[in-house]
Structures are given as structure tokens and as C-alpha cells.
Structure 1
Amino acid sequence: MRRIVDLLRRASRGWTPEQTSQPVMGMAGLFWPTASHLAVAGLIATLSPAALALAGDIPDLPSARTDLTEQDRARVEAITKPTTDFSKPEEYELMQGGAGTSRKRVNADAFSQSSANITFEEEGTFKLGNAIFRKNWVSSPSSTQASDGLGPLFNARACQSCHLKDGRGHPPEGNADATSMFLRLAREASTEEEKAERAEHKVLNFPDPTYGAQLQDLAVPGLAGEGRMRITYAEQPVTLGDGTTVSLRKPSYAVDGLAYGPIHPDTTLSPRVTPAMIGLGLVEQIHPADILAKVDPDDRDGDGISGRPNMVRDALSGELTLGLFGWKAQTPSIRQQSADAFAGDIGISTPEKPDHWGDCTKAEKSCLDLPNGVQERLGSVEAPSPVMDLVTFYSQNLAVPARRDINKQPVLAGKKAFYEMGCVSCHTPKFVTRRDAPNKAQSFQLIWPYSDFLLHDMGEGLADGQAVGDATGNEWRTPPLWGIGLTKRVNGHTFFLHDGRARNLTEAILWHGGEGQKARDRFAAAGAEERDALIKFLESL
């Protein structure tokens, strides 16, 4: 690996092919680059200097795609090149989820369709996974024999309770509950030992000593929930370039009714709404090299955008790998994301996270004294491997809906504005997934997620002050935009951003700060027609 990195660095310095092919000093002495080595070095034009530096620092981190032939590589480079023609839709743009794109009627179930290219047998597996995703877990002991183990402290009784119709969650509004939004609790390292754990990526951060990693407002009978999230909003008027006034609501968070004592003074509260589930399996099969090629932590190209990866430990292999999922890219795989949700949200143990009492802490003894739902004949955890297999498969194969209105002039004009305002600097339009994906349904698919899946400083306005792995309190992963225009149809609301503070897409854009400030300012300075066109483009995704 380090030999390849050395060759790449030679190429990056402008060395000629003859110079690049000179012997390289390796750990075992000199070696002469082969044709394949030089072919890899030829990919330097697609990699950022920061990506090379990162590859040199972390063993086995891919600096180039290893799954493609030279012919494939040329095809991928050509098809993913940003467009400059906004007079008509791009080829394959309608099918934003590749061959798995759902072409079914757009209705409230638009996010709950299976990938169109899975087999008949896999469709049965998908339906079984859907049944588990929807089922309500109950407290122990019970007569169900396969559904007990809830909590004892929890945020939801079912996966579907948080991921409403597999779509986007919302903050509590009026009499609505807070099931699809909760508070993450975390503090920074306070001892040398904890600092060492953080430095070695053994932990993402440290939970509150009493209330754990997230506030759980629900509990099984006989036990008190931890407390209730309280949100207050302050309206902030913003005047756009044409004189239009938009009001943004700035939230503040607190906890009422704490049942087990005070929260630690260093604990931060970070609100999170549940994101849409569509396209996760495709995102999982984007080659890491394609994401790392966009890394530019020092903004060497001077565009004001400094994307960074969140490198995290895979819970099963222990290897340092690229985080892809979650609001701060803190999770490397769908299976691990599912296991974390089972434990933290519902209080169900899995082979990946065998926490029978969920997020209960030693300070919550009354929680730990309650029975768990392990059935020995089914395994040593409450949701054994077959359950995890089904839920993971279901989550990997929720289809992305087809685009709409892509030929309409306002949508094309809005797409042009999206590019010219600089939105694509973070919201990368398209990728081609791995040739060697485990499931053919996700293999070598042209997809349009509109995300680079990297961390970006979004400014003080959106900061939560909570570090998660390599992500700082100001940084967030660029969220994918596919399906965003169907949020109201599926979920009955238009609340956006990590905490749902934005009541529509215009407000969401105006909250962008930090690395998103330039694009935000261009949007704010544009005329009403151009702004409306950009919104229509987003609504077509």
C-alpha cells in the first residue's frame, strides 16, 4: 500500500513516467514498479493531495478503486463528470437509485418499496425484514417468546416508530410526540485514559454518567422514564436580496422531569431527527476511494470547502474504516447502525451489541434490576443473528423513488442554479457503486444521492457542540438529497436539518453557514424566480 502511495505522490509532483517508474525504496529494499503499479499511479488526477496524505497515514486505506478494469474506470469517470449542459436532463437522471429505482405510483408509501432489481426470493426476505422492522417489542417477561426485551428504558417500541413510513422524523409539534426525535448525550474526555481512548478511536465520545448516550423518555411499567425534551424557539428574521423577509426559528434545548438526578454539567445535548431510509444499501457500496478523493481538510483548492472523513472503528472487525451513516458519519455499516438503534432506541440486545438492558447505566439500578428478554432456545441475545440478517437486508434494499418533472424548464433552471451557486461542492450529484458489491442489486449502479458523505463545518448557527469521533461540534455529514421532495407526501411535513428546525427547504438553505456560507449567500442574493427554480429542482429529487 505504501509503495502505491509513494508512486502516487511522485505523480502528484509532476514526475514524468520515466521518473515515476524508477525503483522505489520499500520496507524490504528496492522494488521496481510493475505496469499495474503505474496504472494505479495514473489515477492521481482523480485524487486530492489530502486524500493521499490520509492514505499514507492509515494502513490499508484505499487511495484508488481496486474493483474496476481500465475500461470500467474510463466509463465511471465519464459518467460521473459534473454536467455543464442544463438544457435537458442527463442520461439516466430519472433513475436516481440505479436499476433498483422504484417506478411505482408516488404516494405515502413511496419510501417503503423494495429495490426493483432484487430477485423473487429476495423479495420474500425483504418482506420478512419489513415485518420485524414494524413489529412492537414488549417488556419482559411475556408470553410472546420472541418479542420481549423492550427497554427497560427506551425511545420507541418498533423501528418503524422512529423511521415513520421509512421516511424523515420530525420535532414534536403541537400534540405530536417526540418518538422520531431524541437527544444524544455526550461529553468530552476528562482523564488521560479517556483522551487516549479517543485518540485511538476506541470510542466516539463519552456518555453521561447517569443517563447514558441518549435521553430515553419512555419506560416499561413500574419504571420512570429519564425525562422529557423541552424545545423553545426564537424567531430570527432574515431579509433576502430582493427585500423578501424570511423568519428562521432558532431552537434551544433542555430536559424536564429528570428522574435519576442531574445531568453532568459537561454533558452536551444534541437533538437528532431520524433520516429517511431509502438508498442505504447503495451508499454502503460506494467505494471509499471515491469519497476520500474529495477530502480537502486544508482547503488546498481555495474553494472554501474542507470536507473531512470520520474514521471510526468497525465494531466487529476492530479495523479503522470510513464512517458513512448517521448525522455525523459515525457509523460504518448498516448492520452496525441497526444494532446501535436496537440497543439505544428500543433496548434490545443483538450479537453486535449484546446490551440486554439497552442504555441503562449503573446509576439507574432500578432499570438493571428488571428482567431481560433473552430466550435461551433462540440464542444468547434478544434479537439473534437471523433477526439482524432480515432487518439489515430490509434496510439495504429500500428503493429510491424515480425523479419527477426532470424535463420541465423551471426544474432545469433550478438545477443550473444549484450548480452555479456552489451547492455541488458538498452535495456531489452522482457516484458509481462497486463492481464487487456482495449483492448484484447494488453492483455497478449509477446513483444520484447528492452528497459527498464527508464532514463539513456548517458554522455556529447549526453547531451542537458535541464531538462524535473525528467530527467536531460544528461539523455535520452532508445529508443525501434524493427523495427530499417527497417528504411532505410520505411524512406529512417539511421539517429539515438534523433537528427539524427548518420548516421548509428555503429555511434549510438559509441556515447554512461555515463552509456552506457562500452558497447560502448566493441563494439569498438571487431573485425570487431563481430561488423558486432551485426549490423546484430540489422538490424533483
Structure 2
Amino acid sequence: MWGGVRGGGLFPPVNQRCAKVLLGLLAANLILALQTTAALSGEAVPAGLATERTDLNPKDMARVEKIVRPTTDFSKAEQFERMQGGAGTSEKRINQDAFSQSSANITFEEEGTFKLGNGMFRKLWVSSPSSTQASDGLGPLFNARACQSCHLKDGRGHPPEGGTDATSMFLRLARTAETAEEKAAIADRKVLNFPDPVYGGQFQDLAVPGFKGEGQMVISYQQFPVQLSDAKTALRWPIYSVADLGYGPMDPKTTLSPRVTPPMIGLGLVEQIHPADILANADPDDKDGDGISGKPSIVRDHKSGELTLGRFGWKASAPSIRQQSADAFAGDIGISTPDVPKHWGDCSEAQTACREMPNGVQERLGATEAPDPIMDLVTFYSQNLAVPARRDIDDPQVLRGKQMFYEAGCASCHMPKFVTRRDAPNKAQKFQLIWPYSDFLLHDMGDELGDGQQVGDATGNEWRTPPLWGIGLTKTVNGHTFFLHDGRARNLAEAILWHGGEGQASRDRFAALPAQDRDALVKFLESL
């Protein structure tokens, strides 16, 4: 638990704009909790998507409601704010390994499991056939040989800059549903979208020996001028294409969606946010008129086939860490798992030679290349990567920046805090006050950030609100400051200035701030 939560009394006064924003957030939570069923387009709410918290007794519910209220006092840090990952927060020395620490509240035995999972996460897969015992099965087409190759130091990927490779960035391939049958399949959540008929759902630039990769991603940039309150600046607008195609032309209707790998920290805590707390903030029809119309991503669980809430990935297309991991094994590395038993990875039906290549199944270990024991270890590791403790929470500039963050309306989507489920299966994630700064909903971010690619409930302009915890340590851990889904933003200020659509009003407020207040807001983000 988060510790001794004590009473708070009346909130101190703040300026009118901030008060309006915060009152709007509180009112929206109360109203939208009653609208959740309608937010699911009139269909029955799946059992896993309860619209009320059934894990809390009335006393606990009152405590939770009180502790997650948005603050209105920016004169000091909030109680427990430093421990943004709850009791599992890592307080170890900040260095390049800051995202690779285990949850501080797991047991000694679980620490051993975490380390074994780390070994599986770093495991380099090789092509088949091989003399190894359970390390073969790579590809035949792939983007990386290990999970760690994409999730560098368990942190944020980057576009290829200054001659660096594109291992931590790739292109998703898909086209829009065209026929009534295809549209029905998406509406019924049987599929997320439709891949390229030849190149599949992911563009893979690497291949096993004797085989040919699919081609190369090409990025060029144009200048995008921006006016601030006191100066002009320019963002860089990326343009994506492919070259050296190895298997003929790509379907002209196929869209290219660039994705950098997101940080791995806090995933197990996100998994244990009660669905009701996420759905309560959904407002797909913007009934409160605030310009924010987040909607949930409803997907099917691979194993059960049941409808559930998507909360992982840039478009919230995965409902669980295990499913996200299985999809990555298949799409990124070409490794089959019990959840996605495709020995050929992302090789399409048109790539017959690819599908006929040898695979790495060891019958004595199971029917897939990464059987359940491997999946269990990788999942546990991913669930228990700790969130680092906040820094400089009492710094006057940080507190000023936090106030600017709230006043600009950023907290409408980047919701500061949740309390995880009381009935979480692992004690380490149970009933924790966490500060992810996300609502885990889909939002229209405007044409400039759009990729034209539908992914389940997410349109081409919609993206899941990414959590902000740990964002200020990107430079320390990964040696760069590239942000957003494709790394186009070269710093945090540029990331804000790219916001459009539902984020346009907040972006405009940020641009209109005096330089010192913009700097303070960025300083606040850097403290997360």
C-alpha cells in the first residue's frame, strides 16, 4: 500500500484558469463514470471491463477517491509524489541502468525469477538449424535478435540518427478495411487491420543467412515553422518511404506507420489499474464539451477470445504484457510462442520460401520456439521493471512547471495518478498509489501526427496517451532526447508543440507562455 494516507481538508485557492481545469477534471470523472456503457457503442460491457471497482470496500473507495484527486496546491510537493511507482519504486542511484532495476517490493525468490527473466530478455536467438539447445528459430525475417536489442536498456528507442541503425525503430504495415466483410471483422475485433499482402504487418530489414531482408526504411525531414510567444522556431516533419524492396512492389494502399520502442518501466502496475478507473475517463462523444474525447481501445484476448481493454502499445492494441510480449516475439524476432504459434514470424502467405525455412522447435521442450517457461520469465521480468523515484520535487521551478502543466490542461489526458487493484495477483502491484501521467485512452492528435493507419478501435489520427513517468531520464538511460511515436521531436518542448487535435488547446497555451514558464513546464517533465 502507499502508506499512511491522512485527511486533507479544504484545498487552498489557485488562479481561476487552473481552478476551472481541475473542477472540470473532477466533474468529468463523476459524469463519465455513468456514461461508460454508452462509450462502448451500446454493446454489452465485457466481464473484464467492469464499470465499477468491485475490489474495494466503501472505506477503501473513499481513501482512493481522496488520494487521486488532482491537486490544487502547487506551493509544495504532494504526499507520496516522489515514489511514483508506489512501494516498488526504485531508489537506486540514477545512471544508465535506471530503467533496469527490479521492483523494490518483490520477494527474494521473485528477485531470482526477475534475473532469469532478464536473461531471457537479453537472449540472442540464432537461425535454424543450429547446434544450440533452444536458442534457434530466429526469423527467417526479423528486426532484432533479442528483446533487449529493441528495448535498449529497457528504455526508449530512437530513429536512425548520425549513422546509427534502426534496430529500435520499425515500420508497421497495414491498409484500411475496404469491403463490408473486412469492416465487420474489425468491428467485431476479430482483426486489428489488414497487412500488406506480400510484406505482412511489419517491415523487416534483416534476415537469416542465405535469405533476403525486405528492404530499408528511408526517412527525410522538412521544416515545420512554429510561432511561440516570444520567438519563432521550426520542428522537423518526417517523411517515410521504403527502398531496396526484396520481394517486389508493396501494395499501393499499404500505409507506413513508424514506431520507436517505448520504455518498459511500470508495465506491471499499468496492468493492474482497474478497468473502471480507465473507462471512467472515456468521453468519445465529448459530452462535457471540453474538447477532449478519449475513448477506450477494446480488443480480444488471444487466448480466451474475450473482449477486454487494450492498454499497451502506441495504439493500445494489447490487453496484457504477455500478449504484447508474444506479439513482439513473432513480429520483431520471428519466434513462436504458445500465444502466437507462428514459427515463421511475420512471413506472409505470399512469402512461401520464408514459411518453408527450418524452425527452432525442440519437441522435448514444447511445441513452440519459446515455450511457456520462457514466456513466463519474460512476462514476469516485464511486469517488475521498477519506476525510478522522482527528483527535485520541491524545486520552485519544478513546482511552477507543474502548475503550468495543470493550467495548460495537460492533466486532462496525462492524468497524474491511480491506485491499483486491491485484488492484483502479485502483492508487489497490489493497492499501490502510482503516478504514470496517462489516462491510457485513445485520443485524436491531429493530422500532423497521424499515420493514416487504423489499428482496431484507433483511427489513423488516434494514439494512446503515453505514460510520462521516467521521461526525464531518457538522456541518462538512452543517450538521446527523441520523443513521440516516431522520435520526430528532438526535445520535450518539441513533443508538446507537435500536439494537435484534442491536444491543440494545451499546445497553444504552452506556446503562448513566457519563455520562463515554458522552461519551468519542461523542468517539471524532466523531474518525472
Q: Tell me which interval the TM-score lies in, with the shorter structure as reference length.
A: over 0.9
Q: 2:67 aligns with which of 74, 79, 83?
A: 79
Q: 2:244 aligns with which of 241, 257, 263?
A: 257
Indicate conservation of the 8 Å contact 1:350/1:383, yes or no: yes
Q: What residue is the counterpart of 2:373 in the other structure?
A: 386
Q: 1:459 aligns with which of 438, 442, 446?
A: 446
Partner SS state of residue 202, structure 1: coil
Shift of 1:522: 0.4
Indicate conservation of the 8 Å contact 1:111/1:401, yes or no: yes
Q: Separation in 2 of the partners of 1:117 and 1:205?
A: 40
Shift of 1:45: 3.4
Change (3 A) 1:44 1:129: closer
Shift of 1:49: 4.3
Q: Separation in 1 of the partners of 2:319 and 2:116?
A: 24
Alignment of 1:139 with 2:127, yes or no, is yes
Shift of 1:47: 4.0
Shift of 1:198: 1.2
Q: 2:220 aligns with which of 222, 232, 235?
A: 232
Give the number of aligned pairs: 498
Indicate conservation of the 8 Å contact 2:37/2:44, yes or no: no
Indicate conservation of the 8 Å contact 1:348/1:355, yes or no: yes
Q: Separation in 2 of the partners of 1:301 and 1:506?
A: 29
Q: 1:53 aligns with which of 38, 42, 45?
A: 38
Identity %: 76
Q: Separation in 2 of the partners of 1:187 and 1:95?
A: 43
Alignment of 1:338 with 2:315, yes or no, is no
Q: 2:353 aligns with which of 362, 366, 369?
A: 366
TM-score, normalisation: structure 2: 0.93
Partner SS state of residue 251, structure 1: strand
Indicate conservation of the 8 Å contact 2:440/2:465, yes or no: yes
Give the partner amino acid of 2:371. P
Residue-by-residue CA offset, 1:119-148 (whole Å, 9 max, x unaligned): 000000000000010010000011111100
Alignment of 1:211 with 2:199, yes or no, is yes
Q: Separation in 2 of the partners of 1:436 and 1:443?
A: 7
Q: 1:270 aligns with which of 233, 240, 257?
A: 257
Change (3 A) 1:44 1:137: closer
Partner SS state of residue 53, structure 1: helix
Q: Separation in 2 of the partners of 1:294 and 1:373?
A: 45
Partner SS state of residue 203, structure 2: coil
Q: 1:474 aligns with which of 457, 461, 467?
A: 461
Q: Separation in 2 of the partners of 1:462 and 1:485?
A: 22
Q: What residue is the counterpart of 2:392 in the other structure?
A: 405
Q: Structure 1: which 5+ runs fail to align?
A: 1-42
Q: Separation in 1 of the partners of 2:287 and 2:310?
A: 23
Alignment of 1:497 with 2:491, yes or no, is no
* Root-mean-square deviation over aligned CA pairs: 1.2
Q: 2:159 aligns with which of 158, 167, 171?
A: 171
Q: Separation in 2 of the partners of 1:348 and 1:44?
A: 42
Shift of 1:245: 2.2
Q: 2:312 aligns with which of 320, 325, 333?
A: 325
Give the partner amino acid of 1:302. G
Partner SS state of residue 94, structure 1: coil
Q: Separation in 2 of the partners of 1:134 and 1:508?
A: 30
Q: What residue is the counterpart of 1:294 in the other structure?
A: 281
Indicate conservation of the 8 Å contact 1:223/1:366, yes or no: no
Give the partner amino acid of 1:495. F
Give the partner amino acid of 2:372. S
Q: Separation in 2 of the partners of 1:109 and 1:295?
A: 35
Q: Separation in 1 of the partners of 2:233 and 2:126?
A: 45
Shift of 1:52: 3.4
Q: Separation in 1 of the partners of 2:370 and 2:37?
A: 41
Shift of 1:362: 1.9
Give the partner amino acid of 1:479. P
Q: Separation in 1 of the partners of 2:29 and 2:407?
A: 26
Partner SS state of residue 387, structure 1: helix
Q: Separation in 2 of the partners of 1:326 and 1:84?
A: 31
Larger Rg: 1
Indicate conservation of the 8 Å contact 2:39/2:283, yes or no: no
Change (3 A) 1:46 1:443: farther
Alignment of 1:356 with 2:356, yes or no, is no
Partner SS state of residue 196, structure 1: helix
Q: Separation in 1 of the partners of 2:494 and 2:160?
A: 18
Shift of 1:434: 0.1
Shift of 1:46: 6.2
Q: Separation in 1 of the partners of 2:35 and 2:297?
A: 14
- Pairwise mapping of residues 120-131 of structure 1 onto structure 2 (< 5 A)? 120-131=108-119
TM-score, normalisation: structure 1: 0.91
Q: Separation in 2 of the partners of 1:112 and 1:57?
A: 41
Partner SS state of residue 57, structure 1: coil
Shift of 1:44: 9.1
Give the partner amino acid of 2:72. T
Give the partner amino acid of 1:353. V
Indicate conservation of the 8 Å contact 2:32/2:283, yes or no: no
Indicate conservation of the 8 Å contact 2:32/2:280, yes or no: yes
Q: Separation in 1 of the partners of 2:491 and 2:44?
A: 40
Indicate conservation of the 8 Å contact 1:238/1:245, yes or no: yes
Change (3 A) 1:44 1:259: closer
Q: What residue is the counterpart of 2:435 in the other structure?
A: 448
Q: Separation in 2 of the partners of 1:241 and 1:476?
A: 28
Q: 1:98 aligns with which of 72, 82, 86?
A: 86
Residue-by-residue CA offset, 1:406-435 (whole Å, 9 max, x unaligned): 010000000000000100000000000000
Residue-by-residue CA offset, 1:56-81 (whole Å, 9 max, x unaligned): 62233311100000000000000000
Q: Separation in 1 of the partners of 2:488 and 2:87?
A: 34
Q: 1:415 aligns with which of 387, 392, 402?
A: 402
Partner SS state of residue 406, structure 2: helix
Q: Separation in 2 of the partners of 1:241 and 1:50?
A: 39
Q: Separation in 1 of the partners of 2:512 and 2:247?
A: 50
- Pairwise mapping of residues 298-317 of structure 1 onto structure 2 (< 5 A)? 298-317=285-304
Indicate conservation of the 8 Å contact 1:294/1:452, yes or no: yes
- Pairwise mapping of residues 34-53 of structure 1 onto structure 2 (< 5 A)? 45=30, 47-53=32-38
Structure with the bigger RCO (C-alpha within 8 Å, sep 6+) is 2
Partner SS state of residue 202, structure 2: coil
Alignment of 1:279 with 2:290, yes or no, is no
Q: Separation in 1 of the partners of 2:144 and 2:192?
A: 23
Alignment of 1:200 with 2:188, yes or no, is yes
Give the partner amino acid of 2:93. R
Residue-by-residue CA offset, 1:242-291 (whole Å, 9 max, x unaligned): 1x222200000000000101111111000000000000000000000000
Q: 2:497 aligns with which of 510, 518, 532?
A: 510
Q: Separation in 1 of the partners of 2:31 and 2:77?
A: 25
Q: Separation in 2 of the partners of 1:398 and 1:362?
A: 37
Q: Separation in 1 of the partners of 2:506 and 2:182?
A: 38
Q: Separation in 2 of the partners of 1:46 and 1:338?
A: 36
Shift of 1:197: 1.1
